[in-house]
Amino acid sequence: MILVIGGYAQGKLEYVKEKYQTGGDDIFDFEVEDIAELERYSDGLFSDRQIILNNINSLIKKELDDGKDPEELLGNILSKFNNVIIITDEVGNGIVPIDKNERIYREKTGRFQCMLAQNADEVIRVTCGVGQRIK
Amino acid sequence: MMILVYGGSGSGKSAFAEKKITELNKSGIPLYYLATMQVYDAEDEERIKRHRMQRAGKGFTTIEQPKDLGNIALELREAKSDILLECMSNVVANEMFSDAISDPSIYDKKVSEEKSFDKYEGVFNKIKDEIIKLKDSCNNLIIVSNNVFEDGNIYDDETMKYIKTLGDINVFLAEISDEVWEVVAGIPVRIK
């Protein structure tokens, strides 16, 4: 698993497409798609096929809104895909929000990203479209 | 040796800072954790509980020091201890706002007054002096600070002044530190 992390609009997806020479077919974007669609898609999938999960932070937000614990996601994702690139927004670098749910989202996303990074073979941080391998 | 550890919410910066100071700490040298958070609600208590569990069994003596770091510097001078201070974002907030929070009437009075940036320069200079004292009084010092600078939001004046002051403090801390680490998704990246 490869984790790509960086701020909003930093060119993470473009970086991944160029570096890993992937088209649009295997990109799953959680800003517009949900976990059920991913599950349907992955059922018929050859497990070694490369897949890109974009905006995993949006999925975490949805899971939290549904009252679920996003940490369970990790096991699901890791068990289903051998060859996955996960792209996530860095969301913790700001003033702590007044709204409690916003605070929980930031904190949980940060912790989730730490777990992803721990399990990743490679972690790349993208700033201004430039990737820096940090693991 | 002084180290600055920097990162956002949930980045894993505390765990890294704790690991780093325990590695530096030699037997016989006292190890202090300067806790800076003022508790206002159950969520704060929960956070403190999580941090305490994370520190348990690592040999820290915890000192509650939400502000006035200069006082603790005097107390610790003789011992030449190792210190982990967490987190500078709390210290700056406490120096700027804590009397206001404990007494809302003072806060109302304050915000209704026309203020210059001078007060914040005052806080900046106070913390700067106190950090120098703290650094001189201890053996190894690790300071954890928070990245609050990249959400792109424009806040009210007080908050913007807070952000500016913390930013200035972070620049100062990095200048006088031997090492600066930024923690990203639990991964330490050395930037100085």
Q: Which of B11, B151, B155 sits opposite A110 (nearest CB)?
A: B11
Task: Provide the pLDDT for residue B116.
Answer: 45
Count of helices and strands (H, E) across chain B: 7, 7
Which of B20, B138, B142 is CA-nearest to residue B72? B138
Task: Provide the pLDDT for residue B112.
Answer: 47
Give the total number of structural domains in chain A.
Answer: 1
Give B159's contacts in chain A (Cβ within 8 Å): 95
Task: Provide the pLDDT for residue B102.
Answer: 46
CB pairs under 8 A between A and B: 75
Return mean pLDDT, chain B.
87
Asked if A124 and A2 count as a contact pair (C-beta separation under 8 A), the reply is: yes
- Per the structure, the complete domain to which residue A42 belongs is given by 2-133
Tell me the pLDDT tens digit for each residue of A89-132.
Answer: 999 999 999 999 999 999 999 999 999 999 999 999 999 999 99
Q: What is the dihedral of CA A77, A81, A82, A84, to 10 degrees?
A: -80
**CATH number assigned to the domain comprising residue A125:** 3.40.50.300
Token output for B162 = 């807070």
Q: Please answer yes or no on whether A111 and B43 come within 8 Å at the CB atom.
A: no
Asked if B8 and A94 count as a contact pair (C-beta separation under 8 A), the reply is: yes
Rg for chain A, CA atoms, rounded: 14
Give the total number of structural domains in chain B.
Answer: 1
Chain A, nearest residue to B15 by Cα: A114
Task: Provide the pLDDT for residue A34.
Answer: 81
Q: Of chain A residues 71-110, which have a CB less than 8 A from chain B?
A: 90-96, 100, 103, 106-110
Average pLDDT over residues B37-61: 86
Q: Please answer yes or no on whether A95 and B155 come within 8 Å at the CB atom.
A: yes
Asked if A114 and A122 count as a contact pair (C-beta separation under 8 A), the reply is: no
Task: Provide the pLDDT for residue A105.
Answer: 94
Residue B38: DSSP 8-state? P
Q: Which of B12, B149, B151 sits opposite A114 (nearest CB)?
A: B12
Tell me the pLDDT tens digit for each residue of B126-163.
Answer: 999 999 999 999 999 999 999 999 988 999 988 999 99
Task: Flag whether pLDDT at B124 surpasses 50.
Answer: yes
Chain B, nearest residue to A102 by Cα: B9
Q: Please answer yes or no on whether A95 and B163 come within 8 Å at the CB atom.
A: yes
Tell me the pLDDT tens digit for each residue of A30-85.
Answer: 998 888 888 777 776 666 778 899 999 999 999 899 998 888 877 877 788 888 99
Token output for B134 = 């703290």
Tell me the pLDDT tens digit for each residue of B74-123.
Answer: 777 777 899 999 999 999 999 998 764 444 454 445 544 545 445 678 89
Q: Please answer yes or no on whether A114 and B11 come within 8 Å at the CB atom.
A: yes
**CATH number assigned to the domain comprising residue B62:** 3.40.50.300
* Residue B108 burial class via C-beta count within 10 angstroms: exposed 0-12, middle 13-18, buried 19 and up: exposed
- How many CB atoms neighbour CB A104 within 10 A? 13
In three-state secondary structure terms, B5 is: strand
- Per the structure, the complete domain to which residue B96 belongs is given by 2-190
Q: How far apart are CA A112 and CA A116, in angstroms?
A: 6
Q: How confident is the model at residue B52 (pLDDT cuts 50, 70, 90)?
A: confident
What ranges make up the beta strands (E) of B29-111?
A: 31-35, 61-64, 82-86
* Residue B50 burial class via C-beta count within 10 angstroms: exposed 0-12, middle 13-18, buried 19 and up: exposed
